[in-house]
Amino acid sequence: MISQRCVNCSMRVGWIVLGINIALFVLKFSFAFLSYSRSLLTDSFQSLANILVTIVVLASLRMAARRPDERFPYGYGKVEFLASGIVNVLLMFGAIVFVFLSLLEMAMVGPEKPPKLIAVVAAAISIVGNLVAYGYGRCAGEKLGSSAILANAEVSRADVGTSIAVVVAVVGANLGFSRLDHIAAIVICLLIIKVTWDGMAKAVKGLMDASLHLEEEHIKNLIEQFESVSSVGDVKARFVGRNLWADVSVFVPADWALARGLETARKIKGLVCSKMKNVLEVTVQLVPVNGSDDLDRPKAIEGQK
């Protein structure tokens, strides 16, 4: 069961991360012009992208919290996956374009004056700020099982890596490696592409209802605790946003009364919901059997939650 404290935290985390990203963008963008650092300028655009990501996440969480209705009887949970996928596609496209622009600039422009060391200060502040945003976002995302909050946290973690690259680039450029600032800008973009690719893969799995083998095995093991259940049939689970939906079928003796079967289904649902977090719906189908030869008999009794 998710504590009220975690629910309240999830309502604040987006706004806190948004505030951090706005402050970091203003800081890095200003220092990029003061220090003439190409890599810091690229890193500032990463913070701008983080702002857009957070805004989309806040909007998607608001929509995903809506109750099911006649138009969407299974709820709006998958909006989180959709929002995560769209944001990651946009970020990846921007990073790819910037890589080509940086390579073109390196080929056409000669060695430049190294950036000022003041850029290191902005990068260091960015590292601290993004570590706070990542830790806060990951905690809230894991507690609630929210793919959108977790995706936003991963973007903040990627920004930590890009800021570290800025520090290396600026220091290296001042030590005589004139191209290192441009190279770091390209490396930053490659890191962004890697993170966004992983985010897109997770979003696609959520939208396509990919099989959740670990969760399904856990549900099966829980149901097998019932001695009256002959065996467990199909177990299918999928995420609808941050919530887990499961469909299970169990084999029970054919001489059971309907009331006993429905009571068993109710107990199975209660056990699964109490032992696994974020389980929103469990549908239990009871299959009456006389013996091992009847295990393939069509489902006859269905219990609704």
- Among 207, 240, 271, the domain boundary falls at 207
Q: Are residues 224 and 193 in the same domain?
A: no
If asked whether residues 119 and 261 sit together in one domain, one would say no
163 and 241 fall within a common domain? no
| CATH classification of the domain holding 44 | 1.20.1510.10
Q: Which residue has the higher pLDDT, 79 or 30?
A: 30
Question: Tens digits of per-residue pLDDT, 195-222?
Answer: 778 878 877 877 776 667 778 888 888 8
Task: Give yes or no: residues 169 and 218 share one domain.
Answer: no
Q: Residue 246 has which token pair? A: 């499961």
The parent domain of residue 99 ranges over 4-207
pLDDT band for position 32 (50/70/90)?
confident
Are residues 217 and 151 part of one domain?
no
Provide the number of structural domains found in the chain.
Answer: 2
The last residue of one of the domains, among 207, 228, 244, is 207
Mind listing the pLDDT tens digit for each residue in 259-296?
Answer: 888 888 888 888 888 887 777 788 888 888 875 444 44
- Give pTM, 2 decimals: 0.61
Q: What is the CATH number of the domain that holds 276?
A: 3.30.70.1350
Clarify whether residues 100 and 164 are in a common domain. Answer: yes
CB atoms within 10 A of CB 4: 8
Choosing from 164, 186, 207, the residue where a domain stops is: 207
Summarize pLDDT for 74-103 with one digit per residue, the tens: 777 777 778 778 777 877 887 787 777 667
Looking at residue 292, the DSSP 8-state letter turns out to be G
Do residues 144 and 259 both lie within one domain?
A: no
Instruction: Please tell me the distance from the alpha carbon of residue 75 to that of residue 199, in angstroms, as a whole number.
Output: 22
3-class secondary-structure state, position 116: coil
Quickly tell me which residue has 């290396």 as its tokens.
168
Distance CA 96, CA 126 (A): 23
Residue at 78: amino acid letter: K
Same domain, 133 and 260: no
